[in-house]
Chain A
Amino acid sequence: MRFHTARRAATNHFISGLAILATVIVLVPLAAILFYLIYKGASSLNLAFFTHIPAPVGESGGGMANSILGSGVILVLASVMGIPVGIAAGVYLAEFGRGRMLANAVRFTADVLNGVPSIVMGIAIYSLVVMPQKHFSALAGGIVLAIMMVPTVTRTTEEMLFTVPHAVREAALGLGVPKWRTVLSVSLRTASPGIITGCMLAFARVAGETAPLLFTAFGNQFWSLKLNEPIAALPLQIFVYAISPYDEWHRLAWAGSLVLIAMIMVSVTLVRIYANRGVLKGGS
Chain B
Amino acid sequence: MTTEREPAPSIPAPSSVAPAVAAATDPASGSAAPSPIRDYLSKRGSGRIADNSFAALMLLCACSIFAIVAFIFWILVVRSHLSLVQFGWKFFSRAAWDPVSGDFGALPFIYGTLATSFLALLMAVPLALGVAVFVTELCPKPLRAPISFLTELLAAIPSVVYGLWGVFVLVPLMRNVIGPFLSKTLGWTGFFEGPNFGVGMLTAGIILAIMILPIISSLTRDIMLAVPNSQREGVLALGATRWEMIRVGVLRNSRIGIVGAVMLGLGRALGETMAVTMVIGNHPNISKSLFAPANTLASVIAGEFTEATGDLYLSALIEIGLALFLVTIIVNAIARLMVWAVTRGAPVGAA
Contact = CB atoms under 8 A, between A and B. Distances in A.
Interface in B120-137: 126-131, 133-135, 137
B274 A239 contact: yes
B58 A116 contact: no
Which of A85, A103, A117, A204 has most chain B Cβ within 10 Å? A117
A96 B164 contact: no
B150 A27 contact: yes
B156 A204 contact: yes
A126 B76 CA distance: 10
A176 interface: yes
Interface string B143-174: 00001011101101111111111011100000
**Chain B's interface: helix, strand, loop or mixed, by majority?**
helix
Contact of B351 (A85, A91, A114): A114
A242 B241 contact: no
Contacts of A32: 165, 169
B58 A95 contact: yes
Interface stretch (B20-28, B85-93, B188-196, B298-306): B298-306
Contact of B158 (A84, A91, A92, A235): A235
Nearest to B329: A112
Interface residues of B, number: 94
A238 B166 CA distance: 13
B318 to A, nearest CB: 6
B68 interface: yes
Interface stretch (A45-53, A61-69, A144-152, A220-228): A144-152
Interface stretch (A15-23, A72-80, A164-172): A15-23
B228 to A, nearest CB: 20
Interface of B: 37, 41, 47, 50-51, 54-55, 57-66, 68-69, 71-72, 75-76, 78-79, 126-131, 133-135, 137-139, 147, 149-151, 153-154, 156-165, 167-169, 210, 213, 217, 241-244, 246, 264, 267-268, 270-274, 278, 298, 301-302, 305-306, 317-318, 321, 324-325, 328-329, 331-333, 335-336, 346, 348-349, 351
5 contacts: A16-B138, A19-B133, A115-B268, A118-B271, A179-B55
The 7 nearest A-B residue pairs measured at CB: A208-B158, A117-B271, A22-B130, A88-B61, A115-B332, A180-B54, A92-B58
Interface of A: 8-9, 11-12, 15-16, 18-23, 25-27, 29-30, 32-33, 36-37, 40, 84-86, 88-89, 91-93, 95-97, 102-103, 105-106, 108-121, 123-124, 126-128, 131, 147, 150-152, 154-156, 159, 176, 178-180, 183, 198, 201, 204-205, 207-211, 214-215, 218, 235, 238-239, 242-243, 250, 253-254, 257, 260-261, 264-265, 268, 272
